[in-house]
Amino acid sequence: MTKHFELYVRPNWPDCQKTIDWLEKHHQRYTVSVIDVNDVDMKHREWSLKKIKEFKQKGLWKLPVVKANNDNYMGERGVQTWCGLDYNKLKANAKTEGEHQVA
């Protein structure tokens, strides 16, 4: 069961950077999408506003928004999503190369 994390982050936001730092330290696979409502690129700004609205509708009120995807499943069944810096959830969803949970 291989994990991949999707992060939605705010530029220069401490909790977002701490989440990235933890994932790097524990050699986890992840992708980052930057949410920036002040971006000069109007398309990116509109996308950012749309994502914030979508997250709020799901009760995700702060960044980062983290999705832990289980690559062995399709659809939502293998996805756990949360918001904010949460080391316990990162640890619970992380896997080592040998597929053992991170201690």
Backbone angles phi, psi at 92, to 5 degrees: -65, -30
Whether 28 maps to a domain, the answer reads: yes
Q: Does residue 101 sit within a domain?
A: no
Q: Tens digit of pLDDT for each residue in 10-29?
A: 999 999 999 999 999 999 99
Domain contains 98: no
Residue 53 belongs to some domain of the structure: yes
Could you list the residue range(s) of the whole structural domain that residue 57 is in? Answer: 3-93
40 in any annotated domain: yes
pLDDT tens string 21-74: 999 999 999 999 999 999 999 999 999 999 999 999 999 999 999 999 876 555
For 6, counting Cβ atoms within 10 Å of its Cβ (0-12 exposed, 13-18 middle, 19+ buried), the class is middle
Indicate whether 13 belongs to any domain.
yes
In a domain, 89, yes or no: yes
pLDDT over threshold 90, residue 96: no
CB 64 within 8 A of CB 84: yes
CATH code of the domain in which 26 resides: 3.40.30.10
